[in-house]
Amino acid sequence: MTMFGTSRAAFGAAALIAALGVSQPVWADTVKIGFLSTLSGPASALGMDVRDGFNLALKHNEGRLGGLDAKVIVVDDQQSPDAAKQTTDRLIKREKVDFMTGIVFSNVMLAVAPPIFASKTYYISPNAGPSQLAGKQCNPYFFSASYQNDNMHEAVGQVVQDRGFKKVALLAPNYPGGRDAIDGFKRYYKGDVAAEILTPLQQLDYGTELSQIRASGADALFFFLPGGLGINFIKQFTSAGLGDKIALFGPGFSADEDVLSAVGDAAVGMFNADLWAHDLPNDANRRFVADFQKEYGRMPSSYAARGYDTAQLISAAIEQVNGNLKDKEALGKALKQADFTSVRGPFSFNTNHFPIQNYYLRQVVKDEQGHVTNKLIGTVMEKHGDAYAQECGMGG
Amino acid sequence: MATPMRKSAGWAAEQALDMDSILILEQLLNGLQFGLMLFLLAAGLTLVFGIMDMVNLAHGSLYMIGAYLIATIAAASGSFWLGLGAGIAATCVIGMLLEKTILQRFYHRDHLAQVMGTFAILLMANEAVRMIWGTQPMQLNAPAALAGPVTLLPGLSYSAYRLFIILVGLGVAGLMYLLITRTRIGMQVRAGASNREMALAMGTNVRWLFTALFVFGAGLCALAGGMLGPILAVQVGMGESILIPAFVVIVIGGIGSVRGALLGALLIGLVDTAGRTLIPLLFAGIMAPDLAANAGPAVASILIYVLMAAVLFFKPNGLFPARG
């Protein structure tokens, strides 16, 4: 609620400045970031994590990005493509932001991509990675500091395949993201599918589906149920007594900190794949995780890690062009180099400006203090790109 | 999905049959559980509609408010049971206030005015909940003792909490049966449902009866909210999504009839569960997998409305019309 208020207030102030006709001063030493994210509604925890991760990177850089003072305008997209489009217009035309970032949902991303690209503003994605932008509609002004939507599901498919499961049940909501998840999984899992179940996106009671899964005789279950859906499902899965019969697999989203804090013990044992883990042994990550906990009093999620990396990527690129944001081409080249230390380990850009990176296997455990959290098990895929890069015509 | 299992080698046939009967048993329990919860909502709705001739769209709001109160008290006290008891009591009080202050004035208006008025209450309740509890759903966890599975038969383990819901639903149904057939209030309720004017003429204290009925309905709503909270999510808008099937139930069962509400609710519960299991399987057998994946759930979700249409075609007043 307060979040909502703040963004509204920021808006109001911005509108007021514009209305009074106060011309925008040209701060040569300032970089303006339009941060548009989902900060209200059931998925608001995700947007807040991205924002807090981004802000932590700013704090680590003393409020600067690549030597320029950073001015971040945070706005709520209400998870609505329409609201996001209007806000984007204001950010681009009135605020004249240099970069945009923050979007969590792919449908929102696809709605605002055309105006952002048309205005030649660089968009750095901390989350949404729809296949369209990775393939035919790839764009020089789009860089993903996250993943392509299929990636995590592909990694889970690989894990399930490697572990020798032969009969796997699949469960996802019946919407484009859900169907992509199942396609991504099947790209790397070659065994039998015991059952493939698609549920309405609004459904919260999985009693019927759990019975079907039990009856299918599956030895493992892959499920992708975002946010609250996953919270309900994991609880019901355990309470139905399937926990010790069927191994549970999912993408990192299904077992990130927001889900674990709600589900608790019921998720213990679940395997999930992600591009990041809080116990990845590298210095940048150790610092990020420790400071995030100190600053916000909670464990960072993968969303927060990507928010942090997004700011670091922008910072590195600005530094490389010596703060000259006018030369768009040079800025693009600098971004492409991705000359920053990612908390997720090795990171570079593919020809379509999506990452080539590692995917890790994590398992939900109870740590020594009794917190339910993820533990890094190992690397599933090394320097993995995506299936759509060859459809993108950008080359080089 | 199940088809490859049936095709599997002969020696596995017996085992496969076993799996199928377990599936059927489990789905029956699921249907029973869903149906009984619908009954809790439909019972109050059908009495209010049948006896007071009042269309109350705000019925689902009481379910939502009950769930929020139970979740809040349970979180604050750490006890699910305390939350359940206090939440139901508080919702009864809210129901009484609502009836005494606003709804009473709608009894003599026509249905359109009632729909408009109670719809306004529904919207206001949603916004009030949003203002008090925020936009994020609340968590309500099942009591620890019921969080795990119980083994009913060898090979069939079922969620203890869902089983508990079934028992509560059956208990409430039994209690209502006794109340309606064996008590003076029950007699008045039956009289009011079958002929309101005559019941009035015979000296039934309608004011008091209406309030009591409404409070009872509110209590059942809160009970349903508390029972379903741990399975669904306690969130704004939860009332609307269950109100529609509840209306379908009372239309099928016959408006004003508690017996009809029980039967209608069980019917809807079973048909909905069976449809969600069987129709995707059926479609997978006759069309391309990706098409079946889309069409199956879509058709399954309209099945209860098809059932309603069929019942109304043969029995326009529902299965057990309260008015002869």
Rounded Cα–Cα distance for residues B209 and B202 (Å) = 14
Residue B11 lies in a domain: no
- Percent of chain B whose pLDDT exceeds 70: 93
Rounded Cα–Cα distance for residues B235 and A13 (Å) = 32
Cβ B269 vs Cβ B32: under 8 Å: yes
Rounded Cα–Cα distance for residues B141 and B81 (Å) = 11
Interface test with B, best of A204, A208, A209, A221 (most B CBs within 10 A): A208
Nearest-CB residue to A205 (from B160, B231, B235): B231
Residue B124 lies in a domain: yes
3-state secondary structure of A355: strand
Rounded Cα–Cα distance for residues A393 and B5 (Å) = 46
Widest CA span in chain B: 73
Residue B209 lies in a domain: yes
Q: Where are the alpha helices (DSSP H) in A218-340?
A: 228-239, 257-263, 283-296, 302-320, 328-337
Closest CA to A382 of A222, A129, A155: A155
Least confident residue range of A55-59, B198-202, B239-243, B271-275: B198-202
User: B151–A207: do the CB atoms touch at under 8 Å?
Assistant: no
- Minimal-distance CA residue of chain B relative to A174: B294
pLDDT digits (tens, 9 = 90+) for B225-276: 999 999 988 888 888 889 999 999 999 999 888 999 999 999 999 999 988 8
Q: Predicted ipTM?
A: 0.80
- Identify the DSSP state of A265: G
Residue B12 lies in a domain: no
Chain A closest-CA separation from residue B273 CA (Å): 6
Range of the domain at B280: 32-135+158-314
User: B136–A44: do the CB atoms touch at under 8 Å?
Assistant: yes
Q: Is B15 in the A-facing interface, judged by CB distances under 8 Å?
A: no
Counted domains in chain B: 1
- Minimal-distance CA residue of chain A relative to B290: A179
User: A238–B151: do the CB atoms touch at under 8 Å?
Assistant: no
Rounded Cα–Cα distance for residues A233 and B12 (Å) = 31
Interface test with B, best of A2, A38, A205, A268 (most B CBs within 10 A): A205
Length of chain A (residues): 396
3-state secondary structure of A65: strand
Residue B26 lies in a domain: no
Residue B121 lies in a domain: yes
Run of H or E including A199 = strand A192-199
Please give the structure tokens belonging to residue B73: 């008290």
User: B135–A41: do the CB atoms touch at under 8 Å?
Assistant: yes
- For A348-387, give one letter per residue: b (16+ CB within 10 A) or e: ebbbbbbbbbbbbbbebeeeeeeebbbebbeebbeebbbb
Nearest-CB residue to A239 (from B147, B241, B297): B147
pLDDT band at A8 (very low <50, low <70, confident <90, very high): low
3-state helix, strand, coil in chain B (%, to 5): 80, 5, 20
Least confident residue range of A26-30, A142-146, B246-250: A26-30
The answer to whether residue A10 scores a pLDDT higher than 70 is: no
Nearest-CB residue to A239 (from B135, B139, B159): B159
Cβ A39 vs Cβ A47: under 8 Å: yes
Residue B148 lies in a domain: no
The answer to whether residue A91 scores a pLDDT higher than 80 is: yes
Cβ A267 vs Cβ A234: under 8 Å: yes
User: A215–B26: do the CB atoms touch at under 8 Å?
Assistant: yes
Which B-chain residues 114-143 have CB contacts (< 8 A) with chain A? 134-137, 139, 141-142
Cβ B280 vs Cβ B319: under 8 Å: no
- Percent of chain A whose pLDDT exceeds 70: 92
Chain A closest-CA separation from residue B186 CA (Å): 34
Q: Where do the domains of chain A lie, and which CATH numbers do they carry?
A: 2-147+281-349 (3.40.50.2300), 151-274+359-384 (3.40.50.2300)
**Alpha-carbon distance values, B76 to A231, B70, B80, B109 (Å):** 21, 10, 10, 42
Residues near B264 by beta carbon (within 8 Å), at least 6 away in sequence = B42, B248, B249, B250, B251, B252, B253, B254, B318, B319
User: B231–A1: do the CB atoms touch at under 8 Å?
Assistant: no
